[in-house]
Amino acid sequence: MARAITRRQCDTPAQSKDTAMATDTANPLPSPPGPAEGSAAPHTLNTGTALRRAAAHGAHPGADQPRAPGTPDEDAPLLTATGLTKTYGARIGCADVTFSLWPGEVLAIVGESGSGKTTLLSTVSGRLPRTSGAITYRLRDGTVTDIDDMTEAERRRLARTDWGFVHQNPADGLRMSVSAGGNVGERLMAVGGRHYGDIRATAAAWLERVEIPADRIDDAPRTFSGGMRQRLQIARNLVTHPRLVFLDEPTGGLDVSVQARVLDVMRRLVADLGLAAILVTHDLAVARLLADRMMVMKGGRVVEEGLTDRVLEDPQHPYTQLLVSSILAV
């Protein structure tokens, strides 16, 4: 059962994220995971920085933080959504959602079916137009920009280079009849990769990184299992080193035994790459494993948010209490 997943240990100061990132930058062809990084000890998620940051910002990080447009600030949020609302005709998808996400932080959006998780994710990531509200994003040069002030071409470039999107159904995020290597290489070419040998070598290294056997590089993902497809989708998204990844129920369609491996790969990569992520899941065990902070949605609104450990151990809203007690009861 997913419940058996060992919880994160947030108080473990794992290897420096900065070191991990510096290593990664210096070596564009990623090295294979070390033996100690296997599935046995899911405790190396380096969330310490993000957790300290979130804790320092209190229960509503960012809400009271002054933003300084145009001013590089290492400690500023990566993304801030304010009053996000999306309606489908008279029906509410999500309503008045405000939050900030810090660099390297994993934020889980949890809630029952129909609570607005996907709507919120799609709206934040620009896949759905919002009805009202604003989104600001801190670019790599430190400038904070309102997404609405960007041209369509700039937004597309941002989505291609700085963001990744992992769909619940891998078929939505992969080209099913293009080879696995092609799926990964295509993304590199989209950001300017030209040298065939380099692209293929990087694609091969990434397949290894997501535990897909090297001899499957020329096979199309339609010949892959569900778990392999999902790991390929992760490789395709991360090969360009985005800073922010949107994950919509990334393990939702998978068998529980297969979920664990995908989650383990994801947990390791998020930590190694210092990625920020917004993760939609209805599974609190997944949120517990991956997320620094959680937002709980009901009826399109956020009813509670806070550090993952706090929300799970001391849920305040009756709905969160119900959610937490329902998993503990199983």
Ligand X SMILES: Nc1ncnc2c1ncn2[C@@H]1O[C@H](COP(=O)(O)OP(=O)(O)OP(=O)(O)O)[C@@H](O)[C@H]1O
Residues that bind Mg ion (CB under 5 A): 118
Q: Is position 157 an interface residue for ligand X (rule: CB under 6 A)?
A: no
Report the residue number, 118 or 320, with the smaller CB distance to ligand X.
Answer: 118
Kindly state whether residue 113 participates in binding ligand X, applying the rule CB under 6 A.
yes
Choices 42-50, 87-95, 98-106, 319-327 (CB under 6 A): range interacting with ligand X? 87-95
Q: Which is nearer to ligand X, 114 or 226 (CB)?
A: 114
Cβ 194 to Mg ion, closest distance in Å? 38
Residue from 33, 48, 114, 193 touching ligand X (CB under 6 A): that is 114
Q: Does 91 bind ligand X (CB under 6 A)?
A: yes
* Strand-strand pairing, 132-138 and 144-146: antiparallel
Q: Closest Cα to residue 172, out of 120, 219, 113, 221?
A: 221
> Which class for 54: exposed (0-12), middle (13-18), buried (19 or more C-beta within 10 A)?
buried
Long-range contacts, 37-42 (Cβ 8 Å, 24+): 37/268, 38/264, 39/260, 39/261, 39/264, 41/6, 42/5, 42/6, 42/8, 42/263, 42/264, 42/267, 42/289
Residue of minimal Cβ distance to Mg ion? 118
Residue among 30, 42, 61, 116 that touches ligand X (CB under 6 A): 116
At residue 291's C-alpha, the angle toward residues 285 and 297, to 5°, is 75
- To ligand X, the closest distance from the beta carbon of 78 in angstroms equals 23
Q: Where are the beta strands (DSSP E) in the chain?
A: 79-88, 91-101, 106-111, 132-138, 144-146, 163-166, 244-248, 276-280, 293-298, 301-307
Residue recorded with tokens 């992520």 = 277
Interaction between residue 118 and ligand X (CB under 6 A): yes
Closer by beta carbon to Mg ion, 160 or else 282: 282
Q: How far is the CB of 119 from ligand X (least distance, A)?
A: 3
* Least distance (Å) between residue 87 CB and ligand X: 9
Kindly state the smallest distance separating residue 83's Cβ from ligand X, in Å.
17
Q: What, of ligand X, Mg ion, none, does residue 233 touch, CB below 5 to 8 Å by kind?
A: none
Cα 74 to Cα 92: distance, rounded to the nearest angstrom: 35
As measured in angstroms, the least distance from the Cβ of 245 to ligand X is 17
Q: In the set 100, 115, 237, 240, which binds ligand X (CB under 6 A)? A: 115
Q: Does 125 bind ligand X (CB under 6 A)?
A: no
Give whichever of 239 and 297 is closer to Mg ion, judged by the CB atom: 297
Which of ligand X, Mg ion, none binds 251 (CB below 5-8 Å, type-dependent)? none
Residues 248-287 that bind ligand X (CB under 6 A): 282
Q: Alpha-carbon distance 263 to 267, whole Å?
A: 6
Interface with ligand X, residue 93, by CB under 6 A: yes
User: Could you give the angle at which helices 17-26 and 256-273 cross, rounded to 10 degrees?
Assistant: 80
Is the Cβ–Cβ distance between 301 and 315 less than 8 Å? Answer: no
CA dist., res. 274 & res. 245, Å (int): 11
Rg (CA), the chain: 19
- Residue 292 C-beta: closest distance to ligand X, Å: 21
Contact between 117 and ligand X by CB under 6 A: the answer reads yes
| Residue from 71, 88, 167 nearest 125 by CA | 167
Q: What residue ranges bind ligand X (CB under 6 A)?
A: 88, 91, 93, 111, 113-119, 282
